Amino acid sequence: MAKRSGGLRFQPSGGTRSTQQVPTGKKQRLSIERLANDGRGIAFVEGRTWFVSGALADEQVEARVLGARAQIVEARAEKVLVASPLRRAEPCAHAGQCGGCTLQHLPHAEQLALKQRTLAEQLSRVAGLEPEAWAAPLVGPEFAYRRRARIAVRWDAKAARLDVGFRAAASQTIIGIDDCLVLVQPLQSIVRALPQLLRSLERPQALGHVELFHGNASSLLLRHIQPLGEADLQRLRHFCAEHQAQLWLHGAGEPHADDPAMRLGYRLEQWRLELEYRPGDFVQVNAPVNEAMVAQALDWLAPQASERVLDLFCGLGNFALPLARQVREVVAVEGVDAMVERARGNAVINGLENAHFFQADLSKPLAEARWARQGFDAVLLDPPRDGAFEVARHLGGLGAKRVVYVSCNPATLARDSAELVRQGYRLRRAGILDMFPQTAHVEAMALFEAG
Protein backbone atom coordinates (compact mmCIF):
# COMPACT_ATOMS: atom_id res chain seq x y z
CA MET A 1 0.00 0.00 0.00
CA ALA A 2 2.87 2.34 0.53
CA LYS A 3 3.70 4.27 -2.61
CA ARG A 4 7.22 4.61 -3.91
CA SER A 5 8.36 7.97 -5.16
CA GLY A 6 9.88 6.81 -8.41
CA GLY A 7 9.49 10.26 -9.98
CA LEU A 8 11.80 11.97 -7.48
CA ARG A 9 15.48 12.56 -8.16
CA PHE A 10 17.83 12.97 -5.22
CA GLN A 11 21.32 14.43 -5.39
CA PRO A 12 23.96 12.57 -3.36
CA SER A 13 25.54 14.70 -0.65
CA GLY A 14 29.15 14.25 -1.65
CA GLY A 15 31.34 11.16 -1.84
CA THR A 16 32.78 9.28 -4.75
CA ARG A 17 30.36 7.56 -7.12
CA SER A 18 30.93 3.81 -6.94
CA THR A 19 30.49 1.44 -9.85
CA GLN A 20 30.66 -1.74 -7.76
CA GLN A 21 27.34 -3.55 -7.30
CA VAL A 22 25.94 -3.60 -3.76
CA PRO A 23 25.16 -7.25 -2.91
CA THR A 24 21.76 -8.26 -1.57
CA GLY A 25 21.96 -9.08 2.12
CA LYS A 26 24.87 -6.75 2.85
CA LYS A 27 24.64 -4.83 6.11
CA GLN A 28 25.45 -1.12 6.14
CA ARG A 29 25.50 1.54 8.81
CA LEU A 30 23.62 4.61 7.56
CA SER A 31 22.83 8.15 8.62
CA ILE A 32 19.28 8.97 7.57
CA GLU A 33 18.89 12.52 6.27
CA ARG A 34 15.18 12.78 5.49
CA LEU A 35 12.06 10.82 4.57
CA ALA A 36 10.94 10.00 1.06
CA ASN A 37 7.29 10.46 0.15
CA ASP A 38 6.66 6.76 0.74
CA GLY A 39 7.92 7.04 4.33
CA ARG A 40 11.28 5.34 3.81
CA GLY A 41 14.42 6.99 5.15
CA ILE A 42 16.93 8.41 2.67
CA ALA A 43 20.69 8.10 3.11
CA PHE A 44 23.64 8.74 0.80
CA VAL A 45 26.77 6.59 0.62
CA GLU A 46 29.50 6.73 -2.07
CA GLY A 47 27.27 8.41 -4.61
CA ARG A 48 24.36 6.06 -4.07
CA THR A 49 20.92 6.92 -2.73
CA TRP A 50 19.63 4.47 -0.15
CA PHE A 51 15.91 4.07 0.57
CA VAL A 52 15.52 2.43 3.97
CA SER A 53 12.19 1.09 5.23
CA GLY A 54 11.64 1.40 8.96
CA ALA A 55 14.04 4.35 9.35
CA LEU A 56 13.32 7.96 10.32
CA ALA A 57 15.12 11.21 9.63
CA ASP A 58 18.15 11.95 11.85
CA GLU A 59 18.58 8.31 12.83
CA GLN A 60 21.64 6.07 12.72
CA VAL A 61 20.62 2.59 11.60
CA GLU A 62 22.09 -0.70 10.55
CA ALA A 63 20.31 -1.72 7.37
CA ARG A 64 20.26 -4.85 5.24
CA VAL A 65 20.24 -4.51 1.44
CA LEU A 66 17.10 -5.85 -0.23
CA GLY A 67 18.12 -4.99 -3.78
CA ALA A 68 20.12 -2.50 -5.84
CA ARG A 69 20.03 -1.08 -9.34
CA ALA A 70 22.36 1.56 -10.78
CA GLN A 71 22.83 4.14 -8.01
CA ILE A 72 19.68 3.23 -6.06
CA VAL A 73 19.78 0.82 -3.10
CA GLU A 74 16.69 -0.47 -1.31
CA ALA A 75 17.19 -1.64 2.25
CA ARG A 76 15.46 -2.41 5.52
CA ALA A 77 16.51 -1.08 8.92
CA GLU A 78 17.32 -4.04 11.15
CA LYS A 79 18.78 -2.17 14.12
CA VAL A 80 18.26 1.42 15.25
CA LEU A 81 21.56 2.63 16.68
CA VAL A 82 20.52 6.24 17.36
CA ALA A 83 16.76 6.78 17.43
CA SER A 84 14.81 9.85 16.37
CA PRO A 85 12.89 11.53 19.21
CA LEU A 86 9.81 11.01 17.00
CA ARG A 87 10.12 7.23 16.98
CA ARG A 88 7.39 5.35 18.87
CA ALA A 89 7.02 1.70 19.80
CA GLU A 90 5.07 -0.09 17.09
CA PRO A 91 1.71 -1.23 18.50
CA CYS A 92 1.50 -4.32 16.28
CA ALA A 93 3.67 -7.38 16.92
CA HIS A 94 3.91 -7.99 13.16
CA ALA A 95 5.15 -4.50 12.25
CA GLY A 96 8.30 -4.60 10.16
CA GLN A 97 7.40 -8.03 8.78
CA CYS A 98 3.88 -7.72 7.37
CA GLY A 99 3.81 -5.53 4.26
CA GLY A 100 0.57 -3.77 5.14
CA CYS A 101 1.47 -1.10 7.72
CA THR A 102 4.79 0.62 7.02
CA LEU A 103 4.59 3.67 9.30
CA GLN A 104 3.58 2.38 12.73
CA HIS A 105 6.90 3.61 14.12
CA LEU A 106 5.88 7.20 13.23
CA PRO A 107 3.25 9.01 15.38
CA HIS A 108 -0.03 9.61 13.60
CA ALA A 109 0.36 13.39 13.59
CA GLU A 110 3.71 12.98 11.82
CA GLN A 111 2.15 10.57 9.34
CA LEU A 112 -0.37 13.27 8.46
CA ALA A 113 2.40 15.85 8.11
CA LEU A 114 4.30 13.52 5.74
CA LYS A 115 1.20 13.07 3.57
CA GLN A 116 0.56 16.81 3.54
CA ARG A 117 4.15 17.48 2.42
CA THR A 118 3.83 14.84 -0.30
CA LEU A 119 0.70 16.47 -1.72
CA ALA A 120 2.15 19.99 -1.55
CA GLU A 121 5.42 18.87 -3.15
CA GLN A 122 3.71 17.11 -6.03
CA LEU A 123 1.44 20.06 -6.79
CA SER A 124 4.38 22.45 -6.67
CA ARG A 125 6.94 20.34 -8.54
CA VAL A 126 4.73 18.82 -11.23
CA ALA A 127 2.18 21.58 -11.77
CA GLY A 128 3.75 24.72 -10.24
CA LEU A 129 0.59 25.12 -8.15
CA GLU A 130 -0.42 25.89 -4.60
CA PRO A 131 -4.08 26.02 -3.61
CA GLU A 132 -5.52 29.32 -2.48
CA ALA A 133 -6.39 27.56 0.79
CA TRP A 134 -5.31 24.30 2.43
CA ALA A 135 -8.03 22.23 4.08
CA ALA A 136 -7.39 20.48 7.37
CA PRO A 137 -6.66 16.76 7.00
CA LEU A 138 -9.76 14.59 6.97
CA VAL A 139 -9.11 11.90 9.60
CA GLY A 140 -10.79 8.98 11.30
CA PRO A 141 -9.66 6.27 13.74
CA GLU A 142 -5.94 5.48 13.71
CA PHE A 143 -6.62 1.75 14.18
CA ALA A 144 -9.57 -0.65 13.73
CA TYR A 145 -10.67 1.18 10.59
CA ARG A 146 -10.21 -1.29 7.74
CA ARG A 147 -13.39 -3.08 6.63
CA ARG A 148 -11.83 -5.10 3.80
CA ALA A 149 -8.75 -7.33 3.65
CA ARG A 150 -7.26 -10.10 1.54
CA ILE A 151 -5.65 -13.02 3.40
CA ALA A 152 -2.97 -14.94 1.52
CA VAL A 153 -3.19 -18.74 1.58
CA ARG A 154 -0.60 -21.14 0.15
CA TRP A 155 -0.12 -24.89 0.45
CA ASP A 156 3.55 -25.79 1.00
CA ALA A 157 3.71 -29.31 -0.42
CA LYS A 158 7.28 -29.92 0.72
CA ALA A 159 6.51 -29.06 4.33
CA ALA A 160 2.91 -30.37 4.10
CA ARG A 161 1.81 -27.08 5.66
CA LEU A 162 -0.82 -24.44 4.89
CA ASP A 163 0.53 -20.89 5.26
CA VAL A 164 -2.08 -18.26 6.16
CA GLY A 165 -1.45 -14.54 6.66
CA PHE A 166 -0.43 -11.34 4.89
CA ARG A 167 2.31 -10.84 2.33
CA ALA A 168 5.63 -9.45 3.52
CA ALA A 169 6.73 -6.15 2.01
CA ALA A 170 7.93 -6.55 -1.61
CA SER A 171 7.85 -10.32 -1.24
CA GLN A 172 5.71 -13.41 -1.82
CA THR A 173 6.55 -14.62 1.69
CA ILE A 174 3.45 -15.11 3.84
CA ILE A 175 3.68 -13.75 7.38
CA GLY A 176 1.48 -15.69 9.78
CA ILE A 177 -0.94 -13.28 11.45
CA ASP A 178 -2.86 -13.98 14.64
CA ASP A 179 -4.15 -10.42 14.98
CA CYS A 180 -4.45 -7.27 12.84
CA LEU A 181 -4.94 -3.96 14.62
CA VAL A 182 -6.13 -2.01 11.57
CA LEU A 183 -9.10 -4.30 10.86
CA VAL A 184 -12.52 -3.40 12.22
CA GLN A 185 -13.35 -5.42 15.33
CA PRO A 186 -15.74 -7.95 13.71
CA LEU A 187 -13.03 -8.94 11.21
CA GLN A 188 -10.32 -9.17 13.87
CA SER A 189 -12.11 -12.07 15.54
CA ILE A 190 -12.41 -13.85 12.18
CA VAL A 191 -8.71 -13.36 11.42
CA ARG A 192 -7.71 -14.88 14.75
CA ALA A 193 -9.73 -18.05 14.14
CA LEU A 194 -9.23 -18.34 10.36
CA PRO A 195 -5.89 -20.25 10.21
CA GLN A 196 -7.21 -23.07 12.39
CA LEU A 197 -10.34 -23.35 10.23
CA LEU A 198 -8.45 -23.48 6.93
CA ARG A 199 -5.95 -26.03 8.24
CA SER A 200 -8.81 -28.26 9.34
CA LEU A 201 -10.19 -28.58 5.82
CA GLU A 202 -9.70 -31.90 4.04
CA ARG A 203 -8.35 -30.35 0.84
CA PRO A 204 -6.12 -27.38 1.74
CA GLN A 205 -4.50 -27.70 -1.70
CA ALA A 206 -7.79 -26.47 -3.18
CA LEU A 207 -7.60 -23.07 -1.47
CA GLY A 208 -6.63 -19.86 -3.25
CA HIS A 209 -7.09 -16.86 -0.95
CA VAL A 210 -9.64 -15.39 1.46
CA GLU A 211 -11.22 -11.94 1.32
CA LEU A 212 -12.95 -10.44 4.33
CA PHE A 213 -15.53 -7.65 4.19
CA HIS A 214 -17.62 -5.81 6.74
CA GLY A 215 -20.56 -3.56 5.99
CA ASN A 216 -24.14 -4.22 6.99
CA ALA A 217 -22.79 -7.73 7.72
CA SER A 218 -19.44 -9.44 7.86
CA SER A 219 -18.57 -11.76 4.99
CA LEU A 220 -15.91 -14.28 4.11
CA LEU A 221 -15.10 -14.98 0.45
CA LEU A 222 -13.09 -18.14 -0.19
CA ARG A 223 -11.32 -18.44 -3.53
CA HIS A 224 -10.85 -22.12 -4.39
CA ILE A 225 -9.08 -23.61 -7.41
CA GLN A 226 -10.68 -27.05 -7.04
CA PRO A 227 -14.20 -28.05 -6.03
CA LEU A 228 -14.81 -28.21 -2.29
CA GLY A 229 -16.15 -31.36 -0.68
CA GLU A 230 -19.40 -31.34 1.30
CA ALA A 231 -17.57 -31.84 4.61
CA ASP A 232 -15.40 -28.77 3.97
CA LEU A 233 -18.45 -26.74 2.97
CA GLN A 234 -20.14 -27.66 6.21
CA ARG A 235 -17.06 -26.62 8.22
CA LEU A 236 -17.07 -23.26 6.41
CA ARG A 237 -20.78 -22.76 7.01
CA HIS A 238 -20.43 -23.57 10.70
CA PHE A 239 -17.50 -21.16 11.06
CA CYS A 240 -19.39 -18.33 9.35
CA ALA A 241 -22.49 -18.93 11.45
CA GLU A 242 -20.35 -18.84 14.60
CA HIS A 243 -18.83 -15.50 13.53
CA GLN A 244 -22.11 -14.06 12.18
CA ALA A 245 -20.61 -13.79 8.71
CA GLN A 246 -21.90 -14.50 5.23
CA LEU A 247 -20.11 -17.21 3.23
CA TRP A 248 -19.20 -16.39 -0.37
CA LEU A 249 -17.44 -18.81 -2.70
CA HIS A 250 -15.37 -18.11 -5.78
CA GLY A 251 -14.48 -21.11 -7.91
CA ALA A 252 -15.06 -21.13 -11.65
CA GLY A 253 -17.04 -18.07 -12.74
CA GLU A 254 -18.07 -15.12 -10.58
CA PRO A 255 -18.19 -15.02 -6.77
CA HIS A 256 -21.53 -16.15 -5.37
CA ALA A 257 -23.16 -16.25 -1.97
CA ASP A 258 -23.57 -19.69 -0.43
CA ASP A 259 -27.09 -18.57 0.44
CA PRO A 260 -28.58 -16.77 -2.62
CA ALA A 261 -30.75 -14.64 -0.33
CA MET A 262 -27.68 -12.95 1.19
CA ARG A 263 -27.15 -9.27 0.48
CA LEU A 264 -23.94 -7.38 1.20
CA GLY A 265 -23.86 -3.60 1.48
CA TYR A 266 -23.01 -0.51 3.51
CA ARG A 267 -24.88 2.57 4.63
CA LEU A 268 -24.27 6.25 4.15
CA GLU A 269 -26.18 7.33 7.24
CA GLN A 270 -26.14 11.07 6.59
CA TRP A 271 -28.09 10.59 3.35
CA ARG A 272 -30.20 7.59 4.44
CA LEU A 273 -28.69 5.45 1.69
CA GLU A 274 -27.99 1.72 1.44
CA LEU A 275 -25.48 0.64 -1.22
CA GLU A 276 -25.26 -3.01 -2.18
CA TYR A 277 -22.05 -4.52 -3.52
CA ARG A 278 -20.50 -7.90 -4.20
CA PRO A 279 -17.06 -9.20 -3.21
CA GLY A 280 -14.61 -7.94 -5.81
CA ASP A 281 -16.35 -4.58 -6.28
CA PHE A 282 -14.35 -1.51 -5.33
CA VAL A 283 -15.40 -0.21 -1.91
CA GLN A 284 -13.49 2.35 0.16
CA VAL A 285 -11.92 0.41 3.03
CA ASN A 286 -12.36 3.12 5.68
CA ALA A 287 -16.05 3.66 6.42
CA PRO A 288 -15.78 6.74 8.71
CA VAL A 289 -13.39 8.56 6.37
CA ASN A 290 -15.48 7.56 3.36
CA GLU A 291 -18.60 9.15 4.81
CA ALA A 292 -16.65 12.26 5.85
CA MET A 293 -15.10 12.38 2.36
CA VAL A 294 -18.52 12.31 0.68
CA ALA A 295 -19.75 15.07 3.00
CA GLN A 296 -16.70 17.24 2.28
CA ALA A 297 -16.95 16.67 -1.48
CA LEU A 298 -20.58 17.79 -1.49
CA ASP A 299 -19.78 20.76 0.72
CA TRP A 300 -17.00 21.89 -1.62
CA LEU A 301 -19.05 21.25 -4.75
CA ALA A 302 -21.95 23.25 -3.27
CA PRO A 303 -24.61 21.61 -5.47
CA GLN A 304 -27.85 23.52 -5.96
CA ALA A 305 -31.33 22.02 -6.29
CA SER A 306 -31.69 23.22 -9.90
CA GLU A 307 -28.33 21.90 -11.13
CA ARG A 308 -27.21 19.05 -13.40
CA VAL A 309 -24.07 17.39 -12.02
CA LEU A 310 -21.65 14.91 -13.61
CA ASP A 311 -20.02 12.14 -11.55
CA LEU A 312 -17.13 10.44 -13.38
CA PHE A 313 -15.67 7.07 -12.31
CA CYS A 314 -18.82 6.67 -10.24
CA GLY A 315 -18.40 3.05 -9.13
CA LEU A 316 -21.34 1.86 -7.02
CA GLY A 317 -22.74 5.39 -6.66
CA ASN A 318 -20.78 6.38 -3.55
CA PHE A 319 -20.94 10.07 -4.56
CA ALA A 320 -23.70 10.00 -7.18
CA LEU A 321 -26.48 8.86 -4.88
CA PRO A 322 -25.83 11.45 -2.12
CA LEU A 323 -25.64 14.07 -4.90
CA ALA A 324 -28.99 12.91 -6.23
CA ARG A 325 -30.54 13.83 -2.88
CA GLN A 326 -29.59 17.47 -3.50
CA VAL A 327 -29.76 18.29 -7.24
CA ARG A 328 -32.13 18.12 -10.19
CA GLU A 329 -30.16 15.47 -12.08
CA VAL A 330 -27.00 13.41 -11.69
CA VAL A 331 -25.30 11.81 -14.69
CA ALA A 332 -22.89 9.15 -13.44
CA VAL A 333 -20.34 7.40 -15.66
CA GLU A 334 -18.21 4.32 -15.08
CA GLY A 335 -16.02 2.19 -17.34
CA VAL A 336 -17.02 -1.23 -15.97
CA ASP A 337 -20.41 -2.57 -17.09
CA ALA A 338 -20.99 -4.62 -13.94
CA MET A 339 -20.45 -1.59 -11.72
CA VAL A 340 -22.86 0.49 -13.82
CA GLU A 341 -25.54 -2.17 -13.33
CA ARG A 342 -24.80 -2.31 -9.60
CA ALA A 343 -25.08 1.49 -9.33
CA ARG A 344 -28.39 1.50 -11.22
CA GLY A 345 -29.67 -1.12 -8.83
CA ASN A 346 -28.58 0.99 -5.87
CA ALA A 347 -30.50 3.98 -7.25
CA VAL A 348 -33.63 1.81 -7.51
CA ILE A 349 -33.17 0.41 -3.97
CA ASN A 350 -33.06 3.96 -2.61
CA GLY A 351 -35.94 5.29 -4.73
CA LEU A 352 -33.81 7.77 -6.68
CA GLU A 353 -35.09 8.47 -10.18
CA ASN A 354 -32.90 11.48 -10.99
CA ALA A 355 -29.59 9.57 -11.10
CA HIS A 356 -28.74 8.15 -14.53
CA PHE A 357 -25.83 5.75 -15.04
CA PHE A 358 -23.82 5.12 -18.20
CA GLN A 359 -20.88 2.96 -19.23
CA ALA A 360 -18.16 4.78 -21.18
CA ASP A 361 -14.46 4.67 -21.96
CA LEU A 362 -13.27 7.73 -20.06
CA SER A 363 -10.03 7.86 -22.05
CA LYS A 364 -12.11 9.17 -25.00
CA PRO A 365 -13.34 12.77 -25.50
CA LEU A 366 -16.35 13.46 -23.29
CA ALA A 367 -18.15 15.86 -25.63
CA GLU A 368 -18.87 13.02 -28.09
CA ALA A 369 -21.01 11.17 -25.53
CA ARG A 370 -24.78 11.55 -25.74
CA TRP A 371 -25.06 12.13 -21.99
CA ALA A 372 -22.64 15.09 -22.14
CA ARG A 373 -24.37 17.20 -24.79
CA GLN A 374 -26.46 19.31 -22.41
CA GLY A 375 -23.42 20.30 -20.33
CA PHE A 376 -23.14 20.41 -16.54
CA ASP A 377 -23.12 22.93 -13.72
CA ALA A 378 -20.56 20.96 -11.68
CA VAL A 379 -18.37 17.87 -12.00
CA LEU A 380 -17.06 15.38 -9.45
CA LEU A 381 -14.44 12.82 -10.43
CA ASP A 382 -12.81 10.00 -8.46
CA PRO A 383 -10.42 8.23 -10.85
CA PRO A 384 -8.08 5.28 -10.21
CA ARG A 385 -4.35 5.73 -9.58
CA ASP A 386 -3.49 6.54 -13.19
CA GLY A 387 -5.67 9.64 -12.94
CA ALA A 388 -7.95 11.30 -15.46
CA PHE A 389 -5.74 13.18 -17.92
CA GLU A 390 -8.03 12.69 -20.94
CA VAL A 391 -11.01 13.81 -18.87
CA ALA A 392 -9.10 16.90 -17.70
CA ARG A 393 -8.22 17.79 -21.29
CA HIS A 394 -11.89 18.06 -22.24
CA LEU A 395 -13.54 19.14 -19.01
CA GLY A 396 -13.57 22.83 -19.93
CA GLY A 397 -15.93 22.14 -22.82
CA LEU A 398 -18.70 20.86 -20.52
CA GLY A 399 -19.40 24.28 -19.02
CA ALA A 400 -18.95 23.29 -15.38
CA LYS A 401 -18.15 26.14 -13.02
CA ARG A 402 -16.98 23.89 -10.18
CA VAL A 403 -14.94 20.67 -10.21
CA VAL A 404 -14.10 18.44 -7.24
CA TYR A 405 -11.31 15.94 -7.91
CA VAL A 406 -10.86 13.05 -5.44
CA SER A 407 -7.48 11.39 -5.90
CA CYS A 408 -5.62 8.33 -4.66
CA ASN A 409 -2.34 9.41 -6.29
CA PRO A 410 -0.88 12.91 -5.71
CA ALA A 411 1.39 12.60 -8.77
CA THR A 412 -1.48 12.14 -11.23
CA LEU A 413 -3.59 14.69 -9.36
CA ALA A 414 -0.79 17.23 -9.87
CA ARG A 415 -0.46 16.36 -13.56
CA ASP A 416 -4.22 16.65 -14.11
CA SER A 417 -4.39 19.86 -12.05
CA ALA A 418 -1.97 21.52 -14.46
CA GLU A 419 -4.26 20.56 -17.33
CA LEU A 420 -7.35 21.87 -15.53
CA VAL A 421 -5.59 25.19 -15.02
CA ARG A 422 -4.88 25.26 -18.76
CA GLN A 423 -8.62 24.68 -19.25
CA GLY A 424 -9.33 27.91 -17.36
CA TYR A 425 -9.84 26.61 -13.81
CA ARG A 426 -8.06 27.79 -10.67
CA LEU A 427 -7.14 25.61 -7.72
CA ARG A 428 -9.19 27.01 -4.85
CA ARG A 429 -8.70 24.39 -2.15
CA ALA A 430 -6.92 21.09 -1.49
CA GLY A 431 -6.31 18.72 1.40
CA ILE A 432 -5.45 15.15 2.30
CA LEU A 433 -7.83 12.33 3.24
CA ASP A 434 -6.32 9.88 5.72
CA MET A 435 -7.99 6.81 4.24
CA PHE A 436 -5.10 4.47 5.17
CA PRO A 437 -3.54 5.32 8.58
CA GLN A 438 -0.21 3.57 9.36
CA THR A 439 0.74 3.71 5.66
CA ALA A 440 2.22 6.37 3.41
CA HIS A 441 -0.66 6.07 0.93
CA VAL A 442 -2.02 9.57 0.20
CA GLU A 443 -5.59 10.31 -0.82
CA ALA A 444 -6.51 13.90 -1.52
CA MET A 445 -9.32 16.21 -2.61
CA ALA A 446 -9.07 19.38 -4.68
CA LEU A 447 -11.62 22.03 -5.63
CA PHE A 448 -11.32 23.91 -8.92
CA GLU A 449 -13.43 26.87 -10.00
CA ALA A 450 -13.75 28.42 -13.44
CA GLY A 451 -12.55 31.96 -14.04
pLDDT at 19: 61
pLDDT digits (tens, 9 = 90+) for 284-336: 999 999 999 999 999 999 999 999 999 999 999 999 999 999 999 999 999 99
Mean of pLDDT values over 9-22: 55
If asked whether residues 157 and 208 sit together in one domain, one would say yes
Average pLDDT over residues 395-401: 93
Domain CATH for 72 = 2.40.50.140
Tell me, yes or no, whether 129 and 76 share the same domain. no
In the chain, what percentage of residues exceed pLDDT 90? 87
337 in a labelled binding site? no
- Residue ending a domain, among 257, 275, 298, is 257
Q: What is the pLDDT of residues 405-447, one digit of tens each?
A: 999 999 999 999 999 999 999 999 999 999 999 999 999 999 9
Residue 361 among known ligand-binding residues = yes
In a domain, 93, yes or no: no
CATH, residue 252: 2.40.50.1070
Asked whether residue 42 is assigned to any structural domain, the reply reads yes
Count of the separate structural domains present in the chain: 3
Residue 14 lies in a domain: no
Q: Is 101 known to sit in a ligand binding site?
A: yes
Q: Is 408 a catalytic residue?
A: yes
Domain final residue, candidates 257, 276, 299: 257
The verdict on 343 and 212 lying in the same domain is no
Whether pLDDT at 386 is above 80: yes
Residue 336 main-chain phi, psi, to 5 deg: -100, 120
Residues 229, 118 within the same domain = no
Q: What is the pLDDT of residues 28-54, one digit of tens each?
A: 999 999 999 999 999 999 999 999 999
Write down the pTM of the prediction.
Answer: 0.92
In a 3-state reduction of DSSP, which class is residue 199?
Answer: helix
State mean pLDDT over 149-161.
94
What's residue 15's pLDDT?
46
Q: Do residues 158 and 305 both lie within one domain?
A: no
Instruction: Name the β-bridge partners of 234.
Output: none
What average pLDDT does the structure give for the chain? Answer: 93
Residue pLDDT, tens place only, 124-153: 999 999 999 999 999 999 999 999 999 999
Q: Is residue 220 part of a domain?
A: yes
Same domain for 135 and 159? no
Catalytic residue among 22, 408, 414, 446: 408
Domain around 383? 113-141+286-450
Amino acid at 64: R
Question: Rounded to whole angstroms, how far apart are CA atoms 146 and 136?
Answer: 22
The confidence score (pLDDT) of residue 258 equals: 97
Q: What is the CATH number of the domain that holds 390?
A: 3.40.50.150
Indicate the residue among 257, 278, 301 that finishes a domain: 257
pLDDT surpasses 60 at 6: no
pLDDT at position 367, please?
72
pLDDT at site 268:
98
Residue 280 CA, chain-centre distance (Å), reads 14
Statement to judge: residues 247 and 137 lie in one domain: no
Say whether both 127 and 81 belong to one domain.
no
Kindly tell me if the per-residue pLDDT of 451 is higher than 90: no
313 is in an annotated binding site: yes
**Same domain as 352, residue 434:** yes
Show Cβ contacts of residue 266 under 8 Å, excluding neighbours closer than 6 positions. Answer: 147, 215, 216, 274, 275, 277, 283, 287
**Looking at the domain assignment, is residue 107 inside a domain?**
no
pLDDT in tens, 340-360: 999 999 999 999 999 999 999
- State residue 441's pLDDT score: 97
Same domain as 191, residue 125:
no
Q: What is the percent of the chain where pLDDT is above 70?
A: 96
State the pairing for strand pair 329-334/308-312.
parallel
Question: With contact defined as beta carbons under 8 Å apart, do 181 and 92 qualify?
Answer: yes
Domain assignment present for residue 383? The answer is yes
Is there a binding annotation on residue 314? no
Strand 48-53 versus strand 41-45 pairing type: antiparallel
Q: 22-49 burial string, b = 16+ CB within 10 Å, else e? A: beeeeebebbbeebbbbbbbbbbbeebb
In a domain, 228, yes or no: yes
**Quick one: 435 and 294 in the same domain?**
yes
In a domain, 167, yes or no: yes
55 falls in which pLDDT band (50, 70, 90)?
very high
Per residue in 193-210, pLDDT tens?
Answer: 999 999 999 999 999 999
Statement to judge: residues 176 and 136 lie in one domain: no
Judge whether 98 is annotated as a binding position: yes
Burial class for 337, CB neighbours closer than 10 Å (0-12, 13-18, 19+): exposed
Please say if the pLDDT value at position 11 is more than 80. no
pLDDT-derived band at 2 (thresholds 50, 70, 90) equals very low
